[in-house]
Structure 1
Amino acid sequence: MRHRPDRRPVGDPLPPPRPLSRRPDPSLTKAVDVTAHTTPPTAAPARPASAGPPRARRAAATASVWYLRAMALLNVLAVLSVPLRDRVHEYNEGEHFTPYLLTAGLVSAVLALWLAIAMRRRKRAAWIFNVVLAALTLAGMALFLLVPDQELDFRGHWVNWASAALTALFLMALLVGRKEFTSKGDRSNPRTALAALAGGLVLSGALGIGLVQATGSGTGAVLSDRLGYVLARFVTLDPTERAARLVQVPGWVDGTLNVTAALLFLSVLYVAFRSPRGRVMLSEDDETRLRTLLDRHGERDSLGYFALRRDKAAIFSPSGKAAVTYRVVGGVSLASGDPIGDPEAWPGAIDAWLAEAREHAWVPAVMGASEEAGVIYGRHGLSALELGDEAIVEVADFTLEGRAMRGVRQAHNRVRRAGYSVRVRRHEDIPEPEMARLVADADRWRDGATERGFSMALGRLGAPDDGRCVMVECHDTHGDLRALLSFVPWGTKGLSLDLMRRDRDSDNGLMEFMVIELLRQADEVGLARVSLNFAMFRSVFERGDRLGAGPVLRLWRATLGFCSRWWQIESLYRANAKYRPIWEPRFILFHKSSELPRIAVASGRAEGFVTTPGLPALFRRRSRACS
């Protein structure tokens, strides 16, 4: 059974904070998957966490990324600085040439920056793109430098030799660091990128020709000249002397064409280097294996049953004794709760999950991990940030007596006097037609069209496989259903809140009445403990209201209070605190703090709090389900 902090009533002085790196449970001191070194021959052996690549290869890969960042910066500076832009254009149009990707254009800046991001994530497609383009660029430079030209003397300018040397060094760094770029992309990326490029060029070219035709002036310009002018503006802001003589347009047209090209290239680069979406559902075999692990080790984590969400994927340790369940959202491999199964096999499952994330350039993150799991994840390089607290009520310790419970006791008595009654049943004991009516009422009472929840919600109600779940129904004096709660199993003697719905026209206090009645009828379902709602940033609300709270804490408290108008952050904390529960901390785990904004957006999307606009069909990928 998982470690529990001492019972602490709300409002009592806080104990000293417990660091996540404290000595873990003795059962975890030797948490090593004993089969980690006996992987079947068909599986590729995982690289040990401590074994890094050779220093030279790693340095070469890093140098190539910094080269692209430098080119992006120089291109941006050239776009903003007229003298620098003129100098670059003078070099490129005369007897000089500049290093790879230095063109003083916004498109080149976007391209270099995007390639730097993709290369930093070790994407193989970005490496191939750079090798091919840099090799072609270097071959062209070598041709100019080694083959004499009667009109232009390319060999007589040191800038050309320096540009060729820089390009050659960049290409050499790519080749030396080749084995570092192992992250796979989606198989549909190349053809989708080509389709996006072709379609975008047609649309943006037509737009550019229309603008040039409507606003341009000049002598002797034909359609091919206008098209050439538009294509040239896609690369740089300033036209050549010949183009300026034939086509003359206002400056805003040149800027529009350049920005349009940058947006086009962003779209093409997005579909060319995006990561695979990942599996979106559990297979029947995965679900069976997870249920077996939950039967053996379900007591450890109150969120364990939520691993059975069918929009998650599961990856198992080599021994099959543990698993990590996750979902890929926006390039983030988002796991939730603790690994399922034997803690001694957790490291094997975590290694497999992290290896898959590296293979596909996904950002690994964990939502709602316990302190126990956070220690194990920390040994694999993940950092922890406290996300909030889970409210847990021990049935044996719960009482309505005492002044602190006066408000809850009065609310319970008021609802009971109004004639409401509560019925507690296992899902498997509810007839199918009656369950269908309960599901219909739950859908009707849902706040909004989106079903929210990911890490602490099952995402379905009434499924035949979830017969051990518990339904709490509240009926009024006429026998009409006015509210319901659904709980998932937490081992054999615990429940974890999954769904909470009520008729908006019903009396206040129904939820408190139902929770208390469930605790009173605990013997009927063999109940010893109940996990209620998760209170995000609970410590901020509790400490921010105290005398002597500092200005930073008070400001953070006020900010969360303002956000609670839409996301019920504070109300969830208040609703749970009235039961005087045990607060179990939950953590978000991540590799780099710079990835936290991306992880926050991904978790918001997974939980249903953040919605993204639909993409055109060209940019959407077909979901890959488990076989």
Structure 2
Amino acid sequence: MAPWRGRGAAATVWYLRLMALLNLVAVLAVPFREQVRTHNEGEYFTPYLVTAGLSTVVLSMFLAVAMRRRKRAAWIFNTALAGLFFVAYLVLMLVPGGHFADHPLNYFSTVTTGLFVVALLLGRREFTSKGDRSNPKTAVATFLAGLLFGGGVGSVLVAATNTIPGADFGDRFVYSIARMVTVTPSEHVAGVISVPTWVNAFINAMSAVLFLLVLYVAFRSPRGQELLSAEDEARLRGLLDRQGERDSLGYFALRRDKAVVFSPSGKAAVAYRVLGGVSLASGDPIGDPEAWPGAIEAWLGEAREHAWVPAVMGASEEAGVIYARHGLDALELGDEAIVELDEFSLDGRAMRVVRQAYNRVKRAGYTVRIRRHEDIPEAEMASLVERADHWRDGATERGFSMALGRLGDPDDGRCVMLECHDGDGELRALLSFVPWGRDGLSLDLMRRDRDSENGLMEFMVIELLQRAAEVGLARVSLNFAMFRSVFERGSKLGAGPVLRLWRSVLGFFSRWWQIESLYRANAKYRPIWEPRYLLFEKSSEIPRIGIASARAEGFITVPSLPALFRRRHVGAAAAAAAPKA
């Protein structure tokens, strides 16, 4: 029976896609459109959702997408509406003296709609994806608010363009609402209002936007948990204490705008955030690799339950292999720069540029102070947080997979702070690193005064590497270089035209997103390059995943989304700045 359930569910999706195509053809082809309208308005009717209207094209496509994601709400909607059509067809067939049964097309419509209903009932158990409980109420509220807004805007346009005097605000508002719901205005309203065609078209366009918005709200996936609970954070810290050296990005799982799902044994976990219907995990699973499959299955199960698109940003090759066994495909994003202390040296011709920058800044009188966050007094930390915010490029705190998103939190005492002062003792730059196991650090935050000496960041990194014993350091993870291999291979002799073109395109966009400059800044230290991957289920979902990733990293800002993790950051800074009793 299970195979038939899957086939029935798939059949409903293809039926809706076919209906969308037929409606689109009817919109574009005038003879077919007129034929469909004649059938719908006469004594014989077309199958379910064939109306020769653009709005029905959109509705069919929305329903097809929702049914493909196995959303329960879409199944209920289709079953109720198609069932009513099917029952109506049967009743009209059996009405004595009626003409409905005289037309052969009505038999086709009845059978086709009935088969669709059968497919819906057959695949009922396949549609298990949950929606948000607030969706119905929010959709109704959106529809009413949209009508009020559209009616108000339409009233203003009608008042400005009406050529017949005598219409009051009520007449204009009723006219606009009637146009939005595609109902012919009453004779009274039509007798006192005459507006240009473009006004009616604009009002109809507003109704189309409202229709799309109501559909989106009605069938959207749940938005997911936004904050990491204290209990989950404590469990994650326990896993990091035991297995934290495996992944340099592990500590970033403690961002409080992430949720977490654990394996059945509790020995591994996947941290993620839901954005735009995408369940976006970052880095490798936390904990024992033997328990990773259990955590991955739990995360994927939750994503399927809520019709979220699963994706992973910044996974290592080891984790990518495990994820691939669970149906995810991989796309190389770039490389992480890792410096091993026992292999690093400033000597040699290859390090000449870095060595010169370091010596120049040192001769200018700059010094670096290295401390654990827990060793910094609260008032000093508050001052450092204030300076870091002042030097931030833009109003949004960027980062998701490779940034903690908070500075000065008391729970992050093992983080390491580098403070760079000039010859006059003025603070000029900050670097903050999160722990990577017992003897590693991973770069979290880089801030500097733009008026400071060039080469300041190189100076600070070299100081950290040369004074590694002060914090028991054996390895450091620096910035992530996207598409590193393209820049490296594209500049070499013999690079093909496609690779050179790709390098040129990335170089162009580097003017805004610093893609190439990050690669070159990291390459100076002769690091070990560790590849990182984007993992996904379907290639068609990559644009959606890309938008969700850009939102998570702070490149796309949605003002209505609360930056919850920043509230904690601000609270910590304020508490540190407050005088003690």
Give the TM-score normalised by structure 2: 0.90
Alignment of 1:470-485 (within 5 A): 470-485=416-431
Secondary structure of the 1:99 match is coil
Question: 1: CA distance between counterparts of 2:414 and 2:73?
Answer: 47
Question: 1: CA distance between counterparts of 2:276 and 2:533?
Answer: 21
1:445 aligns with 2:417: no
Which range moves more in the overlay, 98-107 or 345-354? Answer: 98-107
Residues 254 and 101 (structure 1), Cα distance of their counterparts in 2 relative to 1, 3 Å cut? farther
| 1:381-426 per-position Cα deviation (integer Å, ceiling 9, x unaligned) | 0001100000000011100111111000001000110011111111
Secondary structure of the 2:473 match is coil
Question: 2: CA distance between counterparts of 1:589 and 1:498?
Answer: 23
Alignment of 1:499-538 (within 5 A): 499-538=445-484
Alignment of 1:375-390 (within 5 A): 375-390=321-336
Secondary structure of the 2:423 match is coil
Question: 1: CA distance between counterparts of 2:48 and 2:305?
Answer: 28
Q: Alignment partner for residue 173 of structure 1, among 119, 132, 140?
A: 119
Question: 1: CA distance between counterparts of 2:42 and 2:175?
Answer: 19
| Equivalent residue letter for 1:64 | T
1:143 aligns with 2:84: no
1:71 aligns with 2:19: yes
Gap runs ≥5 in structure 1 = 1-52, 218-222
Q: Alignment partner for residue 120 of structure 1, among 68, 81, 89?
A: 68
Q: Alignment partner for residue 543 of structure 1, among 475, 489, 494?
A: 489
Question: 2: CA distance between counterparts of 1:526 and 1:433?
Answer: 26
| Equivalent residue letter for 2:556 | V
Question: 1: CA distance between counterparts of 2:180 and 2:46?
Answer: 19
Q: Alignment partner for residue 92 of structure 1, among 22, 40, 58?
A: 40
Residues 429 and 230 (structure 1), Cα distance of their counterparts in 2 relative to 1, 3 Å cut? closer
Give every structure 1 segment of 4 or more consecutive aligned residues whose post-TM-superposition deviation is greater than 6 Å: 206-217, 226-230, 245-250
Asked if the contact 2:328/2:536 (under 8 Å) is kept, the reply is yes
Question: 2: CA distance between counterparts of 1:281 and 1:158?
Answer: 59
Secondary structure of the 2:13 match is helix
Question: 2: CA distance between counterparts of 1:111 and 1:61?
Answer: 18
Indicate the residue corresponding to 2:134 in structure 1. Answer: 188
Indicate the residue corresponding to 1:282 in structure 2. Answer: 228
Q: Alignment partner for residue 598 of structure 1, among 544, 554, 563?
A: 544
Q: Alignment partner for residue 436 of structure 1, among 377, 382, 386?
A: 382
| 1:445-494 per-position Cα deviation (integer Å, ceiling 9, x unaligned) | 11111000000001111111111111111111111111110000100000
% identical aligned pairs? 70
User: Post-superposition shift, 1:442?
Assistant: 0.7
Question: 1: CA distance between counterparts of 2:395 and 2:174?
Answer: 48
Indicate the residue corresponding to 1:107 in structure 2. Answer: 55
Indicate the residue corresponding to 1:48 in structure 2. Answer: none
Asked if the contact 1:474/1:481 (under 8 Å) is kept, the reply is yes
Higher share of residues assigned helix: 2
| 1:52-100 per-position Cα deviation (integer Å, ceiling 9, x unaligned) | x821111111110111111111112212221111111111111111111
Indicate the residue corresponding to 2:28 in structure 1. Answer: 80
User: Post-superposition shift, 1:580?
Assistant: 0.4
User: Post-superposition shift, 1:251?
Assistant: 5.7
1:578 aligns with 2:527: no
Residues 85 and 602 (structure 1), Cα distance of their counterparts in 2 relative to 1, 3 Å cut? same
| Equivalent residue letter for 1:545 | S
Which range moves more in the overlay, 374-383 or 190-199? Answer: 190-199
Indicate the residue corresponding to 1:495 in structure 2. Answer: 441
User: Post-superposition shift, 1:252?
Assistant: 4.8
1:297 aligns with 2:297: no
Cα RMSD over matched residues? Answer: 2.8
Q: Alignment partner for residue 200 of structure 1, among 146, 149, 157?
A: 146
User: Post-superposition shift, 1:260?
Assistant: 3.1
Gap runs ≥5 in structure 2 = 165-169, 568-581
Question: 2: CA distance between counterparts of 1:149 and 1:211?
Answer: 50
| Equivalent residue letter for 1:132 | A
Asked if the contact 1:63/1:173 (under 8 Å) is kept, the reply is yes
User: Post-superposition shift, 1:567?
Assistant: 0.7
Secondary structure of the 1:148 match is coil
Indicate the residue corresponding to 1:611 in structure 2. Answer: 557
Question: 2: CA distance between counterparts of 1:328 and 1:310?
Answer: 13
| Equivalent residue letter for 1:436 | A
Secondary structure of the 1:367 match is strand
Asked if the contact 1:189/1:273 (under 8 Å) is kept, the reply is yes
Indicate the residue corresponding to 1:270 in structure 2. Answer: 216
Asked if the contact 1:107/1:258 (under 8 Å) is kept, the reply is no
User: Post-superposition shift, 1:235?
Assistant: 5.7
1:406 aligns with 2:352: yes
Secondary structure of the 1:299 match is helix
Residues 522 and 96 (structure 1), Cα distance of their counterparts in 2 relative to 1, 3 Å cut? same
| Equivalent residue letter for 2:452 | S
| Equivalent residue letter for 2:217 | V
Asked if the contact 1:234/1:257 (under 8 Å) is kept, the reply is no
Question: 2: CA distance between counterparts of 1:314 and 1:328?
Answer: 11
1:361 aligns with 2:307: yes
User: Post-superposition shift, 1:303?
Assistant: 0.5
1:566 aligns with 2:512: yes
Asked if the contact 2:179/2:200 (under 8 Å) is kept, the reply is no
Residues 202 and 414 (structure 1), Cα distance of their counterparts in 2 relative to 1, 3 Å cut? closer
Count of residue pairs the alignment pairs up: 557
User: Post-superposition shift, 1:188?
Assistant: 0.5
Residues 498 and 229 (structure 1), Cα distance of their counterparts in 2 relative to 1, 3 Å cut? closer
Question: 2: CA distance between counterparts of 1:174 and 1:297?
Answer: 47
Residues 517 and 228 (structure 1), Cα distance of their counterparts in 2 relative to 1, 3 Å cut? closer
Question: 1: CA distance between counterparts of 2:549 and 2:67?
Answer: 25
User: Post-superposition shift, 1:204?
Assistant: 4.2
Secondary structure of the 2:115 match is helix
